[in-house]
C-alpha cells in the first residue's frame, strides 16, 4: 500500500486528509479475489458487470478536487452524493472525509456487494441505494458535494438542482474532468484534464 500512496503523491495529490483516508482504507478489500495481487497498482481493475474500480490516483484526485477550497485549503463538508458506487472503495474514502455519504449504483449486484464491504468495515455514515444516478437522490438533498464516477455526455440537471449553494460537483464529461461550484443558482466550471471512465448509464 505504501507504494500506491507514494505513486499518488508523485502524481500530485497533496491533500493530507485524502492521503490519510487512503492509508486507512484497504483497496484490496474492494478488489475481486482474482485481482488481489494487483490491488495496490495504480490501474483500474474489473469488478464485473462491465464496471471497474478506478485507479487509485483518479479516486484520490477526484476526492481532492471535491474538498479543496480556494487558496488550496481543505474543508470537511457535511454530506456528499456519490453517483456510481461500484466496488465501494471510493464510497469508503468519502466516509472518512464527509459526515454523511449517499451513494447511488445502477447495478444491483454491485450495490449489494459494496454495501456488504462498507458494513464489514463498520462505516455507519453511508447509505447506498440502487437507482438511476442521473436522477440523484432527492430525498437527502441538498448536498454539499456531488461526485460522479462515470463519464457523462452532459451534466444531469437533477444533480445541479440537488447541490447546495456554494457546493461543488466533480464529474467527467466527454473525456474531461470538470469541477463546478454553484453560485447564485448557476455552476461555475473548471476543466481539469483528461480522464477515462465507464459511461454514465
Catalytic amino acids?
A: 54
**For 2, which DSSP code?**
H
Query: What is the Cα–Cα distance from 130 to 132, expressed in whole angstroms?
Result: 7
Identify the H or E element spanning 37: none
For residues 168 and 34, give the distance between their C-alpha atoms in angstroms, rounded to a whole number. Answer: 36
What is the SS3 assignment for 80-147? EEEECCCCCHHHHHHHHHCCEEEEEECCHHHHHHHHHHHHHCCCCCEEEEECCHHHCCHHHCCEEEEE
Are residues 85 and 55 in contact, defined by beta-carbon separation less than 8 angstroms?
A: no
Q: Which three cell numbers stand for residue 112?
A: 449489494
Q: HSE of 90 in the Cβ direction (CA atoms, 13 Å)? A: 32
Amino acid at each position: 500500500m505504501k507504494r500506491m500512496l507514494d505513486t499518488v503523491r508523485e502524481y500530485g495529490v497533496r491533500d493530507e486528509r485524502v492521503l490519510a483516508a487512503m492509508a486507512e482504507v484497504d483497496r484490496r478489500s474492494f478488489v475481486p479475489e482474482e485481482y488481489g495481487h494487483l490491488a495496490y497498482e495504480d490501474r483500474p481493475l474489473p469488478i464485473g458487470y462491465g464496471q471497474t474500480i478506478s485507479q487509485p490516483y483518479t479516486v484520490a484526485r477526484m476526492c481532492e478536487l471535491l474538498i479543496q477550497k480556494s487558496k488550496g485549503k481543505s474543508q470537511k463538508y457535511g454530506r456528499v452524493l456519490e453517483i456510481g458506487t461500484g466496488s465501494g472503495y471510493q464510497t469508503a474514502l468519502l466516509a472518512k472525509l464527509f459526515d454523511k455519504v449517499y451513494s447511488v449504483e445502477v447495478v444491483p449486484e454491485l450495490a449489494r456487494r459494496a454495501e456488504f464491504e462498507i458494513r464489514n468495515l463498520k462505516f455507519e455514515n453511508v447509505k447506498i441505494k440502487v437507482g438511476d444516478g442521473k436522477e440523484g437522490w432527492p430525498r437527502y438533498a441538498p448536498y454539499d458535494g456531488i461526485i460522479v464516477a462515470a463519464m457523462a455526455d452532459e451534466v444531469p440537471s437533477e444533480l445541479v438542482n440537488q447541490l447546495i449553494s456554494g457546493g461543488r460537483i466533480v464529474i467527467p464529461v466527454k473525456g474531461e474532468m470538470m469541477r463546478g461550484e454553484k453560485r447564485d443558482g448557476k455552476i461555475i466550471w473548471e476543466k481539469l484534464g483528461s480522464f477515462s471512465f465507464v459511461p454514465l448509464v
